[in-house]
Structure 1
Amino acid sequence: MFLSDDLLSAIHSRANAVDQANVFPDEDLRDLKEAGYLKAFVPQEFGGAGLSVEEICNEQTRLAQAAPATALSINMHQIIVGLGRHLVANGVDSGRQILEGAVNGDVFAFGISEPGNDLVLFGSITEARPDGEGGYCFHGQKIFTSLSPVWTKLMTFGRDDSGEDGPHSVFALLNREGGGFTIADDWDTLGMRGTQSNSTKLEGAHAPKEQVLQRVTPGPSYEPVVFGIFAYFEAFLAATYLGIGNRAIEVASDKVKTRKSVLNQDVYANDPDIRWRLASAALRMNSATAEVTLIARDLDEGRDRGELWYPQLSAAKNAAAEASLYAVDQAIRSSGGSSYSNSNELSRLYRDVLAGLFQPSDQESLHGSWAKVVLGPVTEK
């Protein structure tokens, strides 16, 4: 394991205070930096620890068991590092700056989602205006930009309509010190409060030519920048949500071993209904973990899933998010009324796990993708 148990214990001890104060976990970030975790996914030849996709997934699950919001924040940085790896592996040299930046202390954030845009990664409503020298200025609104108080570089994209060959999506890195953006103080949410995923208004933020990662045709594709973002986003998000479900079962298991039934004069851990509830939660988590692990291994090995890559990546994320939601629900039902208290960890886990309902790919997108796999496209009458 890369992250020590002592480090995770310290992070866990701060999670409730971070949630209650609705602040970014600065101490967690400091400790994770000192542990080398922000460069753990960087290949050894670039100066990182060279962890595999499967190993990062395992660490993200463990980190989420300690503090879900911290894990979800750092998750976004690891996605961009994964993108850098994928670009370089596919001959796109612009990805080198991501790997070199992570080794040199950069914190990468993820600026993709936009209000009301259900195309998400496959088409932007932000304008990417050419600067005439190969770079771009970005104008638009990004939401759910985790790590907003601390990122040094923001990976974002916009739509370039200037070419004669049709619109293109432009993916680029923005420097924090370059300005041209405003970060709103609008992250007052039900859960995952420590991510501080404030909205970011791009007001001409400039990416010079060397920080443009790729310019590609909008839509789903296997262009390295598109597939790289999608693949690591879904895999690492899935692994992070697994940690919430695992932790909920741990908390409930400890509780029912001491919670006693007056009626039966025995602890609830011996009640067959409670045993069934927690066993069913563990079974769902076991299946989701297997699905995520297989996805991670196939990414590591570069296996070709063909046209099933996108729907199967989405399925793994949804399996993890839904299994964890179910596990938290069963844990709360098993633990009794005390879990309804705001001070109870299960209450926080319940609020945090709900964020998985909204992050791509959502249930509607997932079922649409699989309906196309099973039935083909919708036919005209």
Structure 2
Amino acid sequence: MPTTTPPPTPAQVLDDHLLEGFRERAAGYDRDNAFFADDLAELREAGYLGAVVPSGLGGLGWDLPTLVAAQRRLASAAPATALGVNMHLVWTSVARVLHDRDDDSLDFLLRDAAAGEVFAFGISEAGNDLMLFGSDTVADPQRDGTVRYTGRKIFTSLSPAWTRLGVHGLDTASDDAPKLVYGFIDRDDPDVRTLDDWDTIGMRATQSRTTVLDGAVVARDRIVRRLDPGPTDDPFVYAIFACFELLISSVYTGLADRALELAVAAASTRVSKRTGVPRSEDPDVRRRIAEAGSLLEAIGPQLDALARDVADGIDHGAFRFARPSGLKMRAVAAARGVVEAAVRVSGGRTFFAGDELGRLQRDVLAGAFHPSSDDGALGAIATALLGPVRD
């Protein structure tokens, strides 16, 4: 019988040599507020943009848990690179989740990703806390079946490099309005503008700039959903939500992995002037590192288990949104706790520009700004446990 060659592992695709190159460049990207162009080129060459694309469609054929593990590994070397490419991987993961459920509406995306197209996430809007469930962008259907989008999308990671932008907007003009309309815009559309407005304290290499849509056109065959505004059971929306939260969680967990590694190295190499012994023997240092390690130990199994459930189509019922958002909240909180402990162990050198742990301290702050917010996650958990608030 014919044998099937297993896909390469994350450690084979993201080998130590590749990761070391990412780590070396990360400081320069951060210092110069520059996009991770060289990293992206190497990830494309390694086939990483098609990581979850089935091998029959030209990809590596990974499942979602494997991708989550790979993103954790990548983030341990270059968190901003991992966070930036995350947005492409969210879309490919959504397409793979649907594909595995015999929904081919995003199979074009899988083929495009395998061919080298770069997808970005054009959902976030200033002041719009409805996120997937509402939009301030106008979606204007045309007689030929295309849709024109007018509005502003913020935090558009991969801004210098994306070739396809997944967006949503609100159609208030059609007979069945209001409808949220999801589709994909091409980069060469003349009615798309990218602002040069990304100058942040952390995750600088993502270059998550503002995108202005001045009537940008989505072709008829690239409109993938028309949905009622508000919460929905549509598997497309759930797949976006779950994959986004899982992959965000993996990035901050990988960042924390590196922070803990740096803390252990600092404790093992620094010697106390007062006692003459390595700081690794100081009970306070040992306690901080143990607490940091414990935080990480709690997140890893949750990441893997939930990724497996999403890939396998396990229905969590009332908790289907609460569990991914709760995981993201806990993963970011754990990462911040690990980084804080690592900074205290490593000392004042982390306050200087150019120090890797100091950069991680700035990068981890971005976790608070990704959906779901802590308030949103706790609200979802409360609804799952107690039911919705009565009007």
SS in 1 for 2:261: helix
1:357 is the counterpart of 2:368: yes
SS in 2 for 1:173: strand
1:79 is the counterpart of 2:79: no
Who is 1:295 aligned against? Answer: 306
1:66 is the counterpart of 2:77: yes
Give CA deviations for 1:168-214 in whole Å, capped at 9, x if unaligned: 11110000012211111110001000000000011011001001111
Who is 2:3 aligned against? Answer: none
Who is 2:315 aligned against? Answer: 304
1:216 is the counterpart of 2:222: no
SS in 2 for 1:339: helix
Name the CA distance, whole Å, in 1 between partners of 2:385 and 2:92.
34
1:52 is the counterpart of 2:52: no
Give CA deviations for 1:233-288 in whole Å, capped at 9, x if unaligned: 01111111101111000011111111111111111111011001011011011101
SS in 2 for 1:241: helix
SS in 2 for 1:187: coil
How many residues align? The count is: 380
Paired residues of 1:94 and 1:212 also in contact (CA < 8 A): no
Who is 1:323 aligned against? Answer: 334
TM-score, structure 2 as length reference: 0.95
1:133 is the counterpart of 2:152: no
Give CA deviations for 1:143-163 in whole Å, capped at 9, x if unaligned: 000000000000111001123
1:111 is the counterpart of 2:128: no
Name the CA distance, whole Å, in 1 between partners of 2:143 and 2:330.
45
SS in 1 for 2:136: coil
Who is 2:4 aligned against? Answer: none
**Which of the numbers 358, 366, 376 marks the counterpart of 2:387?**
376
Deviation for aligned residue 1:45? 1.9
Unmatched 5+ stretches in structure 2: 1-10
Who is 1:194 aligned against? Answer: 205
Paired residues of 1:94 and 1:211 also in contact (CA < 8 A): no
Who is 2:161 aligned against? Answer: 150
Name the CA distance, whole Å, in 2 between partners of 1:207 and 1:111.
13
RMSD between superposed Cα atoms in Å: 1.1
Name the CA distance, whole Å, in 1 between partners of 2:235 and 2:360.
35
1:252 is the counterpart of 2:278: no
**Which of the numbers 54, 74, 79 marks the counterpart of 1:43?**
54
Paired residues of 1:213 and 1:225 also in contact (CA < 8 A): no
Which segment drifts farther, 99-108 or 302-311? 302-311
Equivalent AA in structure 1 for residue 53 of structure 2: V
Deviation for aligned residue 1:335? 0.9
**Which of the numbers 182, 185, 194 marks the counterpart of 2:196?**
185
Paired residues of 2:319 and 2:381 also in contact (CA < 8 A): no
Deviation for aligned residue 1:360? 0.3
Name the CA distance, whole Å, in 2 between partners of 1:93 and 1:303.
20
Who is 1:232 aligned against? Answer: 243
Name the CA distance, whole Å, in 2 between partners of 1:302 and 1:379.
31
1:282 is the counterpart of 2:293: yes
Deviation for aligned residue 1:319? 1.3
Who is 1:345 aligned against? Answer: 356
Equivalent AA in structure 1 for residue 282 of structure 2: D
SS in 2 for 1:350: helix
Paired residues of 2:80 and 2:204 also in contact (CA < 8 A): yes
Deviation for aligned residue 1:374? 2.3
Name the CA distance, whole Å, in 2 between partners of 1:285 and 1:215.
40
Percent same amino acid among aligned pairs?
42
